[in-house]
Amino acid sequence: MNKKITIFLFSVFIPIFLISADFTLDDCVKLAFENNPTLKSKLNDLESARYSYYSSINTYLPKINLSHGFSRSGGDNKTPSNSFSASASLSQNLFDYGSIYSIRSSKINYEIAEINYQSYLVDLRKSLYNAFYNLLFAQESLKVNEKIVQIRKSNSDLINLKYQSGFESKGNMLYAKAQYEMSKLNLEKSKRQLEIASNSLKSVIGINTKEIVYAKADISMPVFGFDENKIADYIKSNPQYKNYEKTVLLAEEKLKNGEYDWLPKLTFSASAGLSGDREFPDRKSWSFGLNLSLPIFSSGVTYRKNNVAMLKEALNSTKEKFNSFLISLESDILNAYKDYQNAVDSAKTYKILLEANEERYNEAVVKYMAGKMSYIDLENMEQNLIDSRQNYTEYIKNVYIKKVNLEALMSKPLSKNTYLSEEK
């Protein structure tokens, strides 16, 4: 596992490069920013929304058109003639609430796209960290199962030797052998689970290789600071909270647009041109004007009344969903913190139990060798030790997973610039 394996990663858009198969969490974060296709897609969506907003601003910018035309006409008893024209025209919206709404809503949609990108970074951090820790503890589980195989083999050899010497029953000898075979089966299963965890991490990172990758990190009780007095700050930093804020604002803009759809539209236009019967005509013409339009019942007699009522109900529905989300999010954050505390306390307790069972097993082996303990009692001590080792691995893993889930609710995004500082 500690041996460095160099592998090639091929990508259509990224040059071939070399990486190590032992990944720290920082390595995984950097690789995810470089390779994760969904992250790149989200960034493209954000850029698309930005350009869409910039495009919408043009509804209030002047529109200029240039034209040049030629025609030739004639007929019976009519001499054919040529006609040339050249003109330039300008138009400018002076007031159009529909255009104002279009720009405002486009800006809000761009802001929502920014929030969605940040929301994905939070989700990606959760997925990446969970995949990393699942792999890390799959490796630890493999080590535990390797130790169990050693214990079971040693025990089987010992019981077989005592059986051959006539000091142990055949049933106990066969049972010890069966326990050894079961431990080898569990070891093979843990090896496959390691491959599954490795594939999951590679998928989140966005790399494609058949080589098994390994997580590289020290396993210790994580330190985590959480202040229940700052629950309001945690809520307001949540991307979904910000998304709801923008969704309410967008619903309010839609309502205003519905309420003000009766306002007049005022447009200024001007043009200048030349016409004549040759390529460079010299007859000048010009025009300018103001156009005022007032929609009375352009969409029907009862349309505005029913449309405004519908938009009001939609706004109220959005606000109620927002309130429901606030209540749920606060509860989820507090519950996640309690779950994290429970996980920490359980891991600490099971560590003490593991240390006790290790000492008891060592004492039991000495007693058994001295003939002061039966095989059944020794096997019970051995099973307690095995269970303790497996349980402690799961409990310490649970601490890390609960911590990651809590951090996701606190809206910690994936960041290659702040990872090292935030983990200290």
Its pTM stands at: 0.78
Average pLDDT of the chain is 85
CATH of domain 20-60+97-263+301-423: 1.20.1600.10
**Tens digits of residue pLDDT in 358-416:** 999 899 989 988 888 888 888 888 889 888 988 998 999 999 999 999 999 999 999 87
**Tens digits of residue pLDDT in 203-253:** 999 988 888 999 998 888 888 888 888 899 999 999 999 999 999 999 998
Q: Which residue has the higher pLDDT, 78 or 57?
A: 57
Predicted confidence band at 417 (pLDDT cuts at 50, 70, 90)? Answer: low
Closest CA to 322 of 252, 257, 258, 254: 252
* Percent of the chain surpassing pLDDT 70: 93
**Tens digits of residue pLDDT in 337-372:** 999 999 999 999 999 999 999 999 899 989 988 888
Structure tokens at 93: 């919206």
Task: Sketch the domain layout of the chain as residue ranges.
Answer: 20-60+97-263+301-423
* Percent of the chain surpassing pLDDT 90: 44
Helix (H), strand (E) at residue 7? strand 6-9
CA distances from 123 to 28, 150, 195, 419 (A): 15, 41, 23, 15
The DSSP secondary structure of 79-137, one letter per residue, reads EEEEEEEEEEEEEEEEE-HHHHHHHHHHHHHHHHHHHHHHHHHHHHHHHHHHHHHHHHH
pLDDT of residue 177: 93
